C-alpha cells in the first residue's frame, strides 16, 4: 500500500507540473532582436520610419539621404504601430481559458491583450503594438518618440507577461502560470547629438566607446581591414544601454571636398562585422569591406551597432586619411596572384618578404597618385603573360629575381627613409651595374680572354 501511495504521489506531482507549466514560447516577431536562450527582447528606435512604418515589420531608418552627416539609425527599427507578436504552445487543454498579455515592471502589471486558449499542442498567437509599451516607459510617449532632453532613453526594467489562470483560482502563480519575456529598450535622440559621433581614435587608449581605431589596405573591389583592430580600452556601452554586437563600416568615395557633414546614411550600404562577443570587441569573419569599385579612393567611417540594432557613435568627428582612406585595385596587395610576374614567377609566394615590400610600396607611393595607379593598371594587363612565360624556367626565374632585388632595396628604403634616399640608392646601384658591365665587356674583349678561348 505504501509503495502504491508513493507511485500515486509521484504521478500526481509529475502530472501537476505539466498542468501548471502549460505554455511554451515558440517565437517572437516585431522586434529588433531576440535572444531565444535568455528569452530577452531587444528593441531599438532612432530616426523616422519611411512612410510611417508597417504594422507587421520593423523599418529601416538608415536610408535617409539628406546631407548633414551620419546620424544614428536602425535597420530593424521598432515603431509605435508595429505589432510585437508572441507564438505560444500549450501542453494541456486550455479551451475556455483566457491567455493574457501584459506590460509589467517590478510594481505594476498592465494588461494589453487577451485571447482564448486552445487544445493541447495547439500554437496560438497574442500581440500588441509597441505604442502600449512605449507609453509606459519614462522619457517616451505612446508614439515611441523621446520626451526627455537627454541623448538616449534606456529601459531594462520592464517585461512582457503571458499569463493563464490554468487552475481557475482567480490568481496567477508566477512560477507555473506565467511566461516572462524581458525587454531591453533603447531609443537614441535625433536632436540631441551626444551619441551621434566620436573622433577616429589614434590608439586604443583614446576615450570613446566601441571600435573607432582601424586601418585599411587595398583589395580587389574591396578594402581590407588590417589585422585585428584594437578596440578602445573603454569599450562599455554608454549609460546602461545594450551591449555592442557589431561595427558597421560606411564606405564613401573620397571627393575633393568630402566632409563629415556632406554625407548621409542612405548614400551607401553599410558592411557589418560582428564582434567576437559583447565583452570581446575583436572582429570576426573575413576582413573585407566589399562591393566597391576598383581604382576609386574610399574613406570609411565606422558606427557601433548594439544588440538593439541601433547604429551610432560614428567616427566622423575627425578624419585620419592615412588610415581611414584607401584606393581599391584589381588584386589584393601588390602582385599577389599566382599568375603575377613577381610573386609567383620570381619569389614563389605572395607571402615572401620581397613581395610584401612591393605591396607596401604600391599602396604607399603608387596608388596614391594618378600616374602610379595607371602604371599598376598597365601591369595587370601584361603581368599574367610575363608570368606564364617565365613560370616553367628556373633560369628565367633566377634572372628575374636578380633583376628585381635592386627594386626591392629601392622600395624598402623608400618606405623606411623616404623617396629621395631611395632614388639615391637606385642611382648608385645603376652606376655600379653600369661599371660592372663595362669592365665585363672589356674583359671579354681583352687579348688574354681571346688567347685562352680561341
Domain identity same for 119 and 168: yes
Instruction: Give the residue-averaged pLDDT of 49-76.
Output: 92
Distance CA 408, CA 354 (A): 6
What are the residues whose beta carbons fall under 8 Å from the beta carbon of 326, sequence distance 6 or more? 216, 217, 218, 223, 297, 298, 300, 363, 367
Distance CA 107, CA 290 (A): 50
Q: Which of 18, 40, 25 is nearest to 162 (CA)?
A: 25
Report residue 216's pLDDT band, with 50, 70 and 90 as the boundaries. confident
**Is residue 348 assigned to a domain?**
no
Residue 34 pairs in a beta bridge with 41
**Is residue 335 assigned to a domain?**
no
Q: How many CB atoms are closer than 10 A to CB 65?
A: 9
- According to the model, what pLDDT value does residue 4 have? 44
- According to the model, what pLDDT value does residue 156 have? 94
Domain identity same for 323 and 359: no
**Is residue 344 assigned to a domain?**
no
Of 293, 327, 361, the residue that ends a domain is 327
Q: Which of 66-80, 279-293, 315-329 has the lowest mean pLDDT?
A: 315-329
Instruction: Give the residue-averaged pLDDT of 176-195.
Output: 95
**Is residue 71 assigned to a domain?**
yes
- According to the model, what pLDDT value does residue 215 have? 82
Distance CA 255, CA 321 (A): 12
Q: 3-state DSSP call for residue 222? A: strand
Distance CA 113, CA 94 (A): 17
Domain identity same for 312 and 239: yes
Instruction: Give the residue-averaged pLDDT of 236-255.
Output: 91
Range of the domain at 51: 21-188
Higher pLDDT, 393 or 78: 78
Cell of 130: 509597441
Beta strands at 216-219 and 222-225: parallel, antiparallel or unpaired: antiparallel
Residue 316 · residue 70 · CB < 8 Å: yes
Helices (H) and strands (E) in the chain, counts: 8, 18
**Is residue 7 assigned to a domain?**
no
Report residue 337's pLDDT band, with 50, 70 and 90 as the boundaries. very low
Higher pLDDT, 153 or 13: 153
Indicate if the pLDDT at residue 324 is higher than 70: yes
Report residue 16's pLDDT band, with 50, 70 and 90 as the boundaries. very low
Q: Which of 385, 403, 415 is nearest to 347 (CA)?
A: 403
Domain identity same for 310 and 415: no
**Is residue 333 assigned to a domain?**
no
Q: What percent of the chain has pLDDT over 90?
A: 43
Q: Which of 263, 258, 262, 283 is nearest to 273 (CA)?
A: 283
**Is residue 375 assigned to a domain?**
yes
Higher pLDDT, 222 or 272: 272
Domain identity same for 155 and 46: yes
- According to the model, what pLDDT value does residue 8 have? 38
Beta strands at 310-312 and 73-74: parallel, antiparallel or unpaired: antiparallel
Give the number of residues written for the chain.
Answer: 454
Report residue 5's pLDDT band, with 50, 70 and 90 as the boundaries. very low
- According to the model, what pLDDT value does residue 115 have? 96
DSSP state of 364: I
Q: Which of 191-195, 212-216, 268-272, 449-453 has the lowest mean pLDDT?
A: 449-453
Indicate if the pLDDT at residue 226 is higher than 60: yes
Contacts made by residues 165-172, CB under 8 angstroms, sequence distance 24+: 165/97, 165/98, 166/19, 166/20, 166/22, 166/92, 166/94, 166/97, 167/19, 167/20, 168/97
Domain identity same for 296 and 363: no
**Is residue 287 assigned to a domain?**
yes
End-to-end CA distance of the chain: 124
Domain identity same for 29 and 157: yes
Instruction: Give the residue-averaged pLDDT of 158-173.
Output: 94
Distance CA 236, CA 238 (A): 6
Number of structural domains (the chain) is 3
Domain identity same for 47 and 164: yes
Backbone dihedral angles phi then psi of residue 189, each to the nearest 5 degrees: -70, 140
Domain identity same for 25 and 156: yes
Distance CA 218, CA 287 (A): 12
Domain identity same for 38 and 179: yes
* DSSP sequence for 93-118: --BT-EEEEEEE-SS-EEEEEEEEB-
394 vs 4, 406, 428, CA distance in Å? 90, 20, 29
Report residue 137's pLDDT band, with 50, 70 and 90 as the boundaries. very high
Higher pLDDT, 156 or 335: 156
Q: 3-state DSSP call for residue 19? A: helix
Of 188, 204, 227, the residue that ends a domain is 188
* DSSP sequence for 289-348: E-SPPTT-EEEEEEEEEETT-EEE-BS-SS--HHHHEEE-BSSSSSS-STT-TTTTTTTS
- H or E element at residue 90: strand 83-90
- According to the model, what pLDDT value does residue 406 have? 86
Cα 306 off chain centre by: 11
- According to the model, what pLDDT value does residue 71 have? 93
Q: 0.75 exceeded by the pTM?
A: no
Domain identity same for 222 and 323: yes
Return the half-sphere exposure (C-beta side, CA atoms, 13 A cut-off) of residue 122: 11
Cell of 341: 610576374
Distance CA 394, CA 346 (A): 9
Q: Which of 133-137, 376-380, 412-416 has the lowest mean pLDDT?
A: 376-380
Domain identity same for 317 and 359: no
Amino acid at each position: 500500500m505504501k509503495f502504491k501511495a508513493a507511485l500515486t504521489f509521484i504521478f500526481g506531482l509529475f502530472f501537476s507540473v505539466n498542468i501548471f507549466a502549460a505554455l511554451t514560447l515558440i517565437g517572437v516577431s516585431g522586434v529588433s532582436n531576440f535572444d531565444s536562450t535568455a528569452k530577452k527582447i531587444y528593441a531599438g528606435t532612432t530616426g523616422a520610419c519611411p512612410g510611417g512604418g508597417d504594422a507587421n515589420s520593423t523599418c529601416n531608418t538608415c536610408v535617409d539621404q539628406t546631407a548633414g552627416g551620419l546620424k544614428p539609425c536602425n535597420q530593424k527599427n521598432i515603431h509605435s504601430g508595429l505589432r510585437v507578436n508572441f507564438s505560444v504552445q500549450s501542453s494541456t487543454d486550455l479551451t475556455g481559458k483566457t491567455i493574457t498579455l501584459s506590460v509589467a515592471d517590478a510594481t505594476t502589471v498592465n494588461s494589453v491583450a487577451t485571447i482564448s486558449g486552445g487544445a493541447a499542442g495547439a500554437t496560438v498567437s497574442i500581440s500588441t503594438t509597441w505604442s502600449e509599451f512605449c507609453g509606459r516607459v519614462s522619457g517616451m510617449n505612446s508614439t515611441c518618440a523621446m520626451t526627455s532632453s537627454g541623448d538616449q532613453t534606456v529601459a531594462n526594467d520592464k517585461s512582457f507577461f503571458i499569463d493563464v489562470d490554468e487552475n481557475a483560482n482567480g490568481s496567477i502563480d508566477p512560477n507555473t502560470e506565467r511566461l516572462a519575456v524581458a525587454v531591453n529598450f533603447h531609443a537614441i535622440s535625433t536632436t540631441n547629438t551626444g551619441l551621434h559621433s566620436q573622433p577616429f581614435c589614434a590608439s586604443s587608449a583614446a576615450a570613446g566607446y566601441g571600435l573607432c581605431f582601424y586601418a585599411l589596405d587595398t583589395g580587389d573591389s574591396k578594402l581590407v581591414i588590417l589585422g585585428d583592430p584594437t578596440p578602445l580600452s573603454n569599450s562599455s556601452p554608454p549609460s546602461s544601454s545594450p551591449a555592442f554586437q557589431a561595427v558597421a563600416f560606411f564606405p564613401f568615395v573620397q571627393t575633393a571636398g568630402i566632409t563629415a557633414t556632406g554625407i548621409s546614411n542612405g548614400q551607401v550600404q553599410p558592411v557589418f562585422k560582428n564582434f567576437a562577443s559583447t565583452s570581446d570587441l575583436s572582429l570576426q569573419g573575413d576582413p573585407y569591406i566589399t562591393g566597391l569599385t576598383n581604382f576609386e579612393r574610399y574613406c570609411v567611417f565606422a558606427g557601433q551597432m548594439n544588440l538593439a540594432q541601433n547604429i551610432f557613435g560614428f567616427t566622423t568627428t575627425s578624419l585620419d586619411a592615412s588610415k581611414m582612406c584607401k584606393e581599391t585595385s584589381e588584386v589584393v596587395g601588390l602582385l599577389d596572384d599566382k599568375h603575377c610576374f613577381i610573386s609567383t614567377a620570381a619569389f614563389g609566394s605572395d607571402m615572401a618578404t620581397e613581395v610584401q615590400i612591393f605591396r607596401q610600396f604600391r599602396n604607399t607611393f603608387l596608388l596614391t597618385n594618378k600616374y602610379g595607379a595607371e602604371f599598376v593598371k598597365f601591369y595587370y594587363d601584361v603581368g599574367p603573360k610575363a608570368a606564364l612565360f617565365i613560370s616553367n624556367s628556373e633560369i628565367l626565374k633566377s634572372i628575374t629575381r636578380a633583376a628585381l632585388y635592386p627594386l626591392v632595396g629601392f622600395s624598402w628604403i623608400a618606405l623606411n627613409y623616404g623617396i629621395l634616399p631611395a632614388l639615391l640608392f637606385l642611382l648608385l646601384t645603376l652606376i655600379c651595374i653600369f661599371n660592372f658591365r663595362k669592365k665585363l665587356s672589356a674583359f671579354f674583349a681583352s687579348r688574354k680572354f681571346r688567347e685562352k678561348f680561341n
